[in-house]
Amino acid sequence: MTTTASVVGGTGFTGGELLRLLDGHPEFAVVQATSRSEANKTVGGVHPNLRHMNLRFSDPEDLDSVDVLFACTPHGVSMERIDRFRDAAGTVVDLSADFRLPAAEYYDDHYDGHDRPELLAEAEYALPELNRENLPGADLVAAGGCNATATIVGLLPLFGHDILSGGERIVVDVKVGSSEGGAGGGAAASHAERSGVVRPYAPTGHRHEAEIEAYLGTSVSFTVHAVDMIRGASATCHVFPDDPVSKGDMWGAYRGQYEDEPFVRMASGGGGVYRYPEPKAVAGSNVAEVGFEVDPPNERLVVFSAIDNMMKGSAGQAVHAANVALGFEETTGLAATGFHPIGSP
Ligand SMILES: NC(=O)c1ccc[n+]([C@@H]2O[C@H](COP(=O)([O-])OP(=O)(O)OC[C@H]3O[C@@H](n4cnc5c(N)ncnc54)[C@H](OP(=O)(O)O)[C@@H]3O)[C@@H](O)[C@H]2O)c1
């Protein structure tokens, strides 16, 4: 039996990526994609890679009944429309920040509060590597932020494997591509301004810091740079453990955490040009690469992770979580490998 799906916010970058993934997914049939600005226009007119789809955007006020609704809308829309979304669909997967954080205090401290704080306890964080056991049957799923996802996937093995216990100093530096800002962009995202940049933005107080702290249970010092990529997020984490850590300890932790994960692979100082996690190497795929080095003189651990923000950092993660929530094989519709060689993706 086919599972019906709709995409609210179908003209955006994550909406387009979701439509691409759902179009190739054997279990889902996309019956609706919404847009206010492009209502009645074809999906292919906005997303040229989807010109073959026989689908027109419709008004988000007029939602079809479906099995799964994916909300790809700016922060604030889902919390305002959540009752309508839940009336229309058995399962809602939200890609915005609206249901990601586990308690209202996080929204009071890092956003402009929350309209529906009572629902936060019902929402399940989508990242299967962190929350797989709570996803089956979940009817409100919140996909993680892309920078937070890259960071959490990189650091997660350090917790629970006797390397960090929480409270140690961690400095995180993320480089991210322009698609993170959405299709709307703005002046800073214009080609002329964005091309060639290594531009710090939100050097302190980035909202994803709260998400990392909520799910890893420790505070981090977090800065993001906008760099000249379209897709991709690359996190470098400088970690200062209380006690010396060997390379063997690190391999034990990372293998123990990830050896059975279908979408995490190690890239840690091997041969070739790409010795560590590289956004180019995962572009278009749902894979997160992780790797590390140990710096004994300074007793510093350097942890690297790389994802495609459109995939593991948003739409791919959402489909992965939906597969788990609905009982499909986890990798369904997500098995594609990225390209090599490729220019700036
Ligand atoms: N881009 C990323 O890398 C990334 C990664 C992780 C999470 N996210 C999150 O995912 C969400 C979508 O991001 P995006 O990059 O896809 O944004 P985007 O490209 O700006 O797209 C936003 C979409 O939402 C629609 N929309 C805007 N306001 C709406 C409203 N009030 N009601 C219904 N539809 C509305 C827009 O179409 P119309 O205006 O035509 O309706 C558009 O289709 C955001 O919350 C973002 O933070 C993005």
Query: Are 157 and 220 in the same domain?
Result: yes
Does a structural domain hold residue 58?
A: yes
Domain region containing 285: 147-307
pLDDT at 344: 72
Question: Do residue 159 and residue 43 come from a single domain?
Answer: no
Q: Which of 72, 82, 146, 149 to mutate to test the pocket of ligand 1 (most atoms within 8 A of CB)?
A: 72
- Number of structural domains in the chain: 2
Domain membership of residue 341 (yes or no) is no
Burial class (CB in 10 A: 0-12, 13-18, 19+), 322: buried
Closest protein CA for atom 20 of ligand 1: 182
**Ligand 1 atom with minimal separation from the 233 CA:** 3
One domain for residues 59 and 181? no
Is residue 305 within 6 Å of ligand 1 at its C-beta?
A: no
Assigned domain for 129 exists: no
Q: Are residues 102 and 202 in the same domain?
A: no
* 75 and 192, same domain (yes or no): no
Within a domain: 324: no
| Co-location of 194 and 100 in the same domain | no
Q: Report how far residue 160's alpha carbon sits from residue 245's, in angstroms, rounded to the nearest whole number.
A: 14
Atom of ligand 1 nearest to the CA of 176: 3
Q: Is residue 137 part of a domain?
A: no
Same domain for 296 and 224, yes or no, is yes
Same domain, 163 and 288: yes
CATH classification of the domain holding 283: 3.30.360.10
Distance from residue 293's CA to the centre of ligand 1 (Å):
37
Question: CB of 70 closer than 6 A to ligand 1?
Answer: no
Mean pLDDT, each 10-residue run in order, the chain (345 residues)? 96 98 98 98 98 98 98 98 98 98 97 97 98 98 98 97 95 97 88 94 91 96 96 98 96 98 95 95 97 93 98 98 98 95 80
DSSP string for residues in 288-305: EEEEEEEEGGGTEEEEEE
Atom of ligand 1 nearest to the CA of 39: 40
pLDDT value at residue 297: 84
Mutate to test the pocket of ligand 1, among 50, 73, 311 (most ligand atoms within 8 A of CB): 73
Report CA(295)–ligand 1 centroid distance (Å): 41
Evaluate whether 248 touches 181 at the Cβ level (below 8 Å): no
Residue 302 lies in a domain: yes
- In 24-76, alpha helices (H): 43-46
Together in a domain, 95 and 238: no
156 CA distance to ligand 1 middle (Å): 28
192 falls within a domain: yes
Q: Residue 48 to residues 11, 19, 20: CA-CA distances in angstroms?
A: 11, 12, 11
Q: What is the CATH number of the domain that holds 20?
A: 3.40.50.720
Residue nearest to atom 2 of ligand 1 (CA): 180
Q: Are residues 155 and 226 in the same domain?
A: yes
Question: Could you tell me the two tokens for 60?
Answer: 């988000």
- Assess whether 198 and 58 both reside in one domain: no
Q: Which atom of ligand 1 is nearest to the CA of 95?
A: 10
For residues 10 and 108, membership in a common domain is answered with yes
Active site residue 146: yes
Say what the pLDDT of residue 202 is.
82
* Ligand 1 pocket check for 60: Cβ under 6 Å: yes
CA-nearest residue for atom 31, ligand 1, is 77
- 68, 79, 146, 226: the active-site residue: 146
Q: What is the pTM of this model?
A: 0.98
Residue 246 is assigned to a structural domain of this protein: yes
CA 72 to ligand 1 center in whole angstroms: 5
- For residues 93 and 124, what is the distance between their CA atoms, to the nearest angstrom? 9
27 contacts: CB under 8 Å, gap ≥ 6 = 2, 3, 323, 326, 328, 332, 333
